Amino acid sequence: MAHTTSGFPGRAGTAGRTGTAGRAGGTGNATLPDIFSARTHLATHRALPVVLGLVYGFWAAANRRDGGPITGWNVLFGFVSALAFMAVLIGVRAVAPRLKRELHAVTWGAFAGIAFGFLYSQTGASVLRSTGNALAVAASVAAVLFYRYYTHEDAAGQRAD
């Protein structure tokens, strides 16, 4: 007989099929198996800000160039944008997990909104339009992440990994 762990009637959860639940010596926690090594996780953790920063810088430079010729100032703008994005992303990744779920979600929402608003402003859009779209993105990201963080905590407010 399958019991429901997902909260929906008639829908069996996956707690018994993933992780250590049901294994000899298992703790009963439902966790997904880790298919990558610690070395792979570390490499990804270090490379992700660099890759995302380079993509962001290229995108910002392309928006600013607007189909014109590539100039030295345009390349410099792209690299400075990439460095700023990487620095802020590394800072947010270091600080946000230590915050309560509300501030954690708002921090990532603000980061996403500001990053989007800056890219959008490089297309020649007005300040009000850029700000409005950035606020919409920030609010959407913050709401989704708040829901995720809220539903992944136990009763004592500890994050479940």
Residue reference for tokens 């590394």: 90
3-state percent helix, strand, coil for the chain, nearest multiple of 5? 65, 0, 35
State the average pLDDT over residues 12-31: 46
Instruction: Give the pair of three-digit tokens for residue 106.
Output: 């708002």
State the average pLDDT over residues 101-125: 95
Please tell me the least confidently modeled range out of 11-15, 27-31, 109-113. 11-15
Is residue 47 over pLDDT 80? yes
DSSP string, 3-72: PP-SSSTT---STTTSTTTTSTT----------S-HHHHHHHHHHHHHHHHHHHHHHHHHHHHTTS---H
Give 19's pLDDT tier (boundaries 50, 70, 90).
very low
Please tell me the least confidently modeled range out of 5-19, 33-47, 65-79, 115-129. 5-19
% residues pLDDT > 90 (the chain): 58
Is residue 145 over pLDDT 90? yes
Q: How far apart are CA 87 and CA 47, in angstroms?
A: 13
Mean pLDDT of the chain: 82
pLDDT per residue over 131-141, tens digit each? Answer: 999 999 999 99
